[in-house]
Amino acid sequence: MADPMKIRAQMKGDTAEIRVLMSHAMETGQRKDNAGATVPAHFIQAITVDVGGKRVIQGQTSTSVSRNPVFGFKVKGAKVGDKVVIHWEDNKGDKRTDEAVIAA
Amino acid sequence: MKQRLSTLMVAAVMTASFAAHAQQPAKKAPPPAKAAAPAKKEGITAEFEKFREVLEEDNPAELFEAKGEDIWKNKKGPGGATMAQCDLGLGAGVVKGAYVQMPRWFADVGQVMDAERRIVHCMVKYLGYKEEDIRKQPFSNDQRTPDHVSVITYVAAQSRNLKIAAPQKHAKEIEAYRIGKEIFAYRAGPYDFSCATCHGDDGKRIRTQDLPNLRKPAEAVKAYQGWPGYRMTGGFMLTQQWRMNDCFRQQRFPEPTYLSDSITALLAYMTVTANGQVYKGPGIKR
């Protein structure tokens, strides 16, 4: 089971600023370990973000994203108290969903 | 759907925490600023500082804080012992503010211990970790972050925005400071280096990395709060002990054993020098 994400969501004027920190190895599949064996690719490949029950982002990521990545979004039309649900899935089928509420 | 949220993505800035760094110069300062600026920071340093500021808001160290908190609060050792029994100097189980008040004298072991040493001591004593195992891999690498590193990160984070106040009451605490000060200035090795060679004057640097002058409080705090820190190169948490060991390596000194007295003494010297400054760690480093 993957480690939890850290989500920060805050209104700035009429825009909600959402930032999420994910815990993931994000292996590219190009690295070799000390024994010279290739470290298999292991990366987040799908991310979705729902705000207030509405999907605002559906994205695909690949190996160019760093380990423990941070993503930031600005969403117009959201309001304080809206629920933010972020979900990711990696290439090995591991997944994680976390929630936060937009703060004032 | 009456109240349709006009959910418009203004910018789905997918800031991959550092892969994006090549694409960042989009909003660079206007070129003339470069030539002017009498008190200019070296261009590259300024760029890195901006980069670090952006990242500080979302320091991946938080992920390790969360792991450490879980171990501190929930993990049980043999006989059901927990870290709630661990005294970091402010009473059993008290974490808030403890980090910035170490190294200190611990009567139960009759030693001055720095935070890292004390935490490892507690994890061995209460949670049943084996010291040999911890010594086998004391520092994080890309395969694994040892549990104690996460716990250290958690404990350090519990002192965020508090003033550094390493005690100098017990004779041994004062002794540790003095020994640290001496080691700091001790020149040896094939390069005839001491810590002070790089960290004893203002304005020194290695390549693009500014080196704090550890003789001054406002500078010592920079080194102090950098570690434990998240290193973006590689993407893992590293501790103060690691930094010290690596400085020894860079001086071509023999590398100290993990949690050695000499490192505790050096940390005592650095921490006491930084006393009164506000701790803003855990850090983030490139």
The answer to whether the beta carbons of residues A85 and B13 sit under 8 Å apart is: no
Residue A31 falls inside a structural domain:
yes
Residue A83 falls inside a structural domain:
yes
In chain B, % helix, strand, coil (3-state, to 5) comes to 45, 10, 40
Residue A40 falls inside a structural domain:
yes
ipTM, two decimals, is 0.77
The Cα B151–Cα B134 span in angstroms is: 13
Q: What is the mean pLDDT of chain B?
A: 83
CA distance to A6, A39, B63, B145, B239, per residue, from B154 (Å): 15, 29, 10, 14, 12
CA distance to B69, B156, B284, per residue, from B65 (Å): 6, 9, 13
User: A15 to chain B, minimum CA–CA distance in Å?
Assistant: 9
Least confident of A24-33, A72-81, B36-45, B81-90: B36-45
Q: What is the mean pLDDT of residues B48-62?
A: 77
Residue A1 falls inside a structural domain:
no
Q: What is the mean pLDDT of residues B64-91?
A: 90
pLDDT tens digits, one per residue of A35-79: 899 999 999 999 999 999 999 999 999 999 988 898 999 999 888
B14/A33 Cβ within 8 A: no
Q: What is the mean pLDDT of residues B231-257?
A: 91
Q: Total structural domains in chain B? A: 1
Q: Which residue of B has its CA nearest to A27?
A: B142
Q: Domain range for residue A21? A: 6-101
Contacts of A8 in chain B (CB under 8 A): 58
- The CATH number for A44's domain is 2.60.40.10
Contacts of B9 in chain A (CB under 8 A): 56-57, 73-76
Contacts of B56 in chain A (CB under 8 A): none
User: A45 to chain B, minimum CA–CA distance in Å?
Assistant: 13
pLDDT tens digits, one per residue of B19-47: 444 444 444 444 444 444 444 556 767 77
Q: What is the mean pLDDT of residues B133-139?
A: 92
Q: Total structural domains in chain A? A: 1
The Cα B152–Cα B230 span in angstroms is: 12
Residue B47 falls inside a structural domain:
no
Report residue A3's pLDDT band, with 50, 70 and 90 as the boundaries: confident
Q: Phi and psi at residue B5, in whole multiples of 5°? A: -75, 120
Residue B180 falls inside a structural domain:
yes
Residue B218 has pLDDT above 70, yes or no: yes
Q: Say whether residue B233 is in contact with chain A using an 8 A CB cutoff.
A: no
What was the pLDDT predicted at A77? 87
Residue B258 has pLDDT above 90, yes or no: yes
**DSSP strands (E only) in B57-117:** 104-106, 111-113
What was the pLDDT predicted at B14? 39
Residue B37 falls inside a structural domain:
no
Here the tokens at position B114 are 């720095």
User: B212 to chain A, minimum CA–CA distance in Å?
Assistant: 28
Least confident of B17-26, B156-165, B251-260: B17-26
What was the pLDDT predicted at B15? 38
B55/A71 Cβ within 8 A: no
For Cα atoms B204, B209, B212, give the angle at the middle one, nearest 5 degrees.
50
Q: Domain range for residue B136? A: 61-285
Residue B193 falls inside a structural domain:
yes
**DSSP strands (E only) in chain B:** 8-11, 104-106, 111-113, 204-206, 209-211, 229-231, 236-238, 283-285
- The CATH number for B238's domain is 1.10.760.10
Q: What percent of chain A has pLDDT over 70?
A: 99
Least confident of B36-40, B43-47, B109-113, B256-260: B36-40
